[in-house]
Amino acid sequence: YIKYGSFIPLSESDVLEHLKKTSSSDLSSRLVKTTYRHIYTRGFMVTYNKHNLRLEDLSTLEDQNWLNDQIINMYGELIMDVAEQKVHFFNSFFYKQLVAKGYDGVKRWTKKVDLFSKWLLLIPIHLEIHWSLIAITMATKTISYYDSQGIVFRHTTNNIMKYLQSEAREKKQAAFQKGWKIAIIKGIPQQKNDSDCGVFVLEYCRRLSVKQPLLFSQNNMPQIRKRIYKELCDRRLND
């Protein structure tokens, strides 16, 4: 609990390490791993709204693993709840679907959502093996691009601008059919490895959604990973 903020073990290596320290008998690694899979992982699930997380999903928060879509999407749901529905977090598969099938392929995704009543839209972008973020401030019609490696994929912001214009036409929002601005955000926290981009994106989202400054660094990643893990298990963001 002290290490992770939860009584649920994060990985089978933690179980192995603990048993080696506490067991007087010579337990084989194969036996422990089999026991771990059957006892700890069988049936365990964190469920929130339509999202389900298993231990293998949570294990992506361990060490320097890459976060998966399930972690990204459920955390986005928690962010929306804290923001009292003034923030909309797009599913991580949204952008891929938009690129593959165009506006008609995604217009049903916001059938029950009025994007133009929100003050902030958050769109995680996953290209190949890298996560970045597009944040849209509706009041100023600004599309902002955040990347923890300083990479700029300008086609992503252009695609999102076209999407917003199409959505405005579909929802008959004349004020949002033009006047959009694109901003590449610089001077933000940057990762120092090749594995923490997803964690940086979630921390950008969390702080932007509650209007907190982006004051964190690569050195904070271990603590942030553990905090996200606990928040997902508790199904709420901590203060």
What's the token pair of residue 172? 């008959």
pLDDT of residue 85: 84
- Domain region containing 174: 67-234
The yes-or-no verdict on residue 39 having pLDDT over 70 is no
- If one counts the domains in the chain, the total is 1
Domain annotation covers residue 55:
no
Query: Would 44 be classed as within a structural domain?
Result: no
pLDDT, position 41? 54
Domain membership flag for residue 28: no
- State pLDDT tens for residues 73-109: 999 999 999 998 899 999 999 999 999 999 999 999 9
Residues marked as catalytic: 130, 147, 197
> Of the ranges 81-85, 195-199, 206-210, 228-232, which one carries the lowest mean pLDDT score?
81-85
Q: Tokens representing 209? A: 């959604």
- Report the distance separating Cα 74 and Cα 48, nearest Å: 7
Strand, coil or helix: 88: strand
Is 41 inside a domain boundary?
Answer: no
Write out the H or E segment, with its range, that includes residue 125: strand 120-127
CATH number for position 141: 3.40.395.10
Please answer whether residues 195 and 79 qualify as being in contact, where contact means their C-beta atoms are separated by less than 8 angstroms.
Answer: no
